[in-house]
Structure 1
Amino acid sequence: MRPDDWHLTHDLDAFLQRAGDFLTARPATHTVLLTVLDGLRRGGVHAYSEEDPLFGVLETDGQVTAALLRTPPYWINLTPLTGEQSDALAARLASAGHRLPGVSAERDTAAAFVDAWQRHTGAEASLRWRQRLYRLGESTGPEPAPEGAPRIAGPADRAQVARWFEEFGASIGERGHQDSGAWADSRIAQGGVILWETPDGTPVSLAAVTPEVAGQVRVTTVYTPAHLRGRGYAGAATAEAGRTARASGAAEVLLFTDLANPTSNGLYQRIGYRPVTDFAVYGFA
């Protein structure tokens, strides 16, 4: 395979015309690319930074077989690749002078691309996260259920939602990569934020989902302030977010977990989530 078999572009519309059907054919596996692309359609191609995003398509015998997406300052996201495809892509990007902060992909693809990138650039790589993608099966609430009830966040909750989004980002090392106010406005407008409240009406936990695209949504933000954890609030909010998404017509509800956190992995399985596949995120020095 030759490096120039990969077609690279900064043109969102041209990329969607070429790769759209390929991505929507496997919405669970391609969930990250689909939701990021939806965000770029809604907010413009510079929704994440002033630097142009990068898109790529690999075609074999006239059929799209792989795709990539990078929205600076984030790492490159890849659909599943063979070792040969990874090597050709790494060679193409390296020869064009691209500097990558890292890669996110299914576990084997991420490892293959890391090896190829190191061969072509000499960059050092380190494993950042091992993640598991889950799909919601039969939704169940946590047992025992915590006191209180869920509700959908509204405009009056904007400051609370934005603050918790900032705190969530800081807790996972991604603080400042998105404007918290704009994120809160977007998620509240779509009805995509569930708050769990105690009986006196005090919000104690948050679960938020992406807009629906290709029949799927993904739970991306689950946050409970540290002093309120261990009481079942996060599980209850997440379960309600899944039920609400399904009631709104989503065929699939997905989420990622950090495999280094056995507590969250156990929690999500107890409320009905089942493993799909493992992903990995590597950083490049």
Structure 2
Amino acid sequence: MQRGTARGITVARTTAGRDFQQVSGPRVAAAPVIHSVVATTLAHALESPADYPGSQWYWAKRDGRVTALAMHTPPRPFHVATVDTHVARAIARRVLADGLHVERVGGLVTGALAFAETIAFESGGHIRVVRREGMHDLPRPPRHPEGVPGELRAARESDIPLLDTWARAYLEETGTEAPPRFPLQQWVSRGDMRVWDVDGEPVAMTHASRPHGGVSRISWVYAPPEQRGHAYAAATVAAVSALQRRAGHRCLLYTDLDSPASSRLYQRVGYRRVGDSCVLALTQVR
């Protein structure tokens, strides 16, 4: 575990996920929405460490309290979970001091941009917007689309080959980075992966993370092209969200702001936009 200080903000780093879990737990509990991505990624990394080689976990302290979390889990972008620009810049300076080469950074816009600007200024590089995302929560019970045939069910082991194909198609369509191997086996065995079933045939899927700080993140929403136009994805999201709310969990999801159809799908279910995040590419001049 290593530490560094900048302008009264102490930034620490570890490669041990268990150590980070101990440090980050209170911060996740205090602000579960902004730290949802960190919490769910850490849970996956602890469960399947071989799928997260080279992972590094950062946290910042001010006045002795943990105020922000960040992580580097290649090939995913470096993730900064803060809107405090001073803290984001301190984390960036620590990353530079560590000699870590960051090609992409993601997080809420304010923090991610401050981090990227610091890296770009120090390296003489450039910043490019890769993806813009909207962060949405569900303030009330979801609206279920009417007249959609079929029903929600837990994914089965026999569904895994199909879900793996869908997951790879999802990554290609959205331009999302992920580990080489998807933890579908674990997700299915725990009941976290759900499909919409029509006459015995899966037509859409989604994943609901285990809750962290009472927040479950809805992701991996996908219907293959031949099944689109029937509201299967909307029905899946609505049904999964209803299950999470009945269990007492708050629902959170991200949408591609450059895909209006995606945003309309979630708004139709009842999700509201509560913040903006982004992924930025960094070209460093050495």
Q: TM-score, normalised by structure 2?
A: 0.90
Distance 1:79 1:173 in 2: 21
The offset of 1:139, in angstroms, is: 3.0
- 1:55-134 matches, within 5 Å, as 55-134=57-136
Report what 1:267 is aligned to.
Answer: 265
Distance in 2 (alpha carbons) for counterparts of 1:115 and 1:98 = 16
Does the Cα contact within 8 Å between 2:74 and 2:179 map onto a contact in 1?
Answer: no
Per-residue deviation at 1:89? Answer: 2.4
How far residue 152 of structure 1 moved from its aligned partner, in angstroms, is: 1.5
Displacement of 1:196 in angstroms is: 1.4
Write the distance in 2 (CA, Å) between the matches of 1:90 and 1:222.
32
Matched, 1:14 2:19: yes
Change over 3 Å in CA distance of 1:178–1:210 after alignment to 2: farther
Within-5 A mapping of 1:121-270: 121-174=123-176, 177-180=179-182, 183-198=183-198, 200-247=199-246, 249-270=247-268
Q: 1:147 to 1:278 in 2, by over 3 A?
A: same
2:267 partner amino acid: Q
Equivalent-residue separation in structure 1 for 2:109 and 2:155 (angstroms): 35
Q: Is the 8 A contact 1:166 1:175 kept in 2?
A: no
Amino acid at match of 1:138: R
CA-to-partner distance for each residue in 1:185-217, whole Å, 9 max, x for gaps? 11111112221122x322211122122222221
Q: What is the deviation of 1:176? A: 6.5
Deviates more, 1:24-33 or 1:206-215: 206-215
**Which whole-Å CA distance do the structure 1 matches of 2:174 and 2:66 have between them?**
34
Deviates more, 1:142-151 or 1:205-214: 142-151
Deviation of 1:235 (Å): 0.3
Letter of the 1:130 partner, please give it: R
Shift of 1:142: 4.3
Please give the root-mean-square deviation of Cα atoms over the aligned residues, in Å. Answer: 1.9
AA aligned to 1:209 is A
Query: What letter corresponds to residue 24 of structure 2 in structure 1?
Result: A
Query: Kindly tell me: are residues 83 and 184 of structure 1, through their superposed partners in 2, closer, same or farther at Cα, counting changes over 3 Å?
Result: closer
Which secondary structure does the structure 2 equivalent of 1:5 belong to?
Answer: strand
- Asked if the contact 1:104–1:282 (Cα under 8 Å) also holds between the matched residues in 2, the reply is yes
Amino acid at match of 1:108: T
1:278 & 1:118 partners in 2: Cα distance?
Answer: 22
Instruction: State whether structure 2 residue 51 is matched by structure 1 residue 47.
Output: yes
Residues 1:5 and 2:3 are matched in the alignment: no
Deviations 1:201-245 (A, max 9, x none): 222111221222222211111111112211111100111111222
- Write the distance in 1 (CA, Å) between the matches of 2:171 and 2:57: 26
- CA shift, 1:177, in A, is 3.1
Aligned residues, how many? Answer: 278
| Distance of 2:195 and 2:10 partners within structure 1 | 47
After superposition, the Cα gap between the structure-2 partners of 1:176 and 1:65, relative to the gap in structure 1 and judged at 3 Å, is: closer
Q: 1:6 to 1:140 in 2, by over 3 A?
A: closer
The alpha carbon displacement at 1:103 in A equals: 0.9
What CA deviation, in whole Å up to 9, does each residue of 1:12-68 have, x standing for no partner?
A: 222222222012211111100010111122223x432x32x1111211111111121
Distance 1:158 1:87 in 2: 42
1:60-105 CA distance string (max 9 Å, x none): 1111111211111221111214333233322222132110121111
State the percentage of identical aligned residues.
Answer: 26
Q: Unaligned 5+ residue runs, structure 1?
A: none
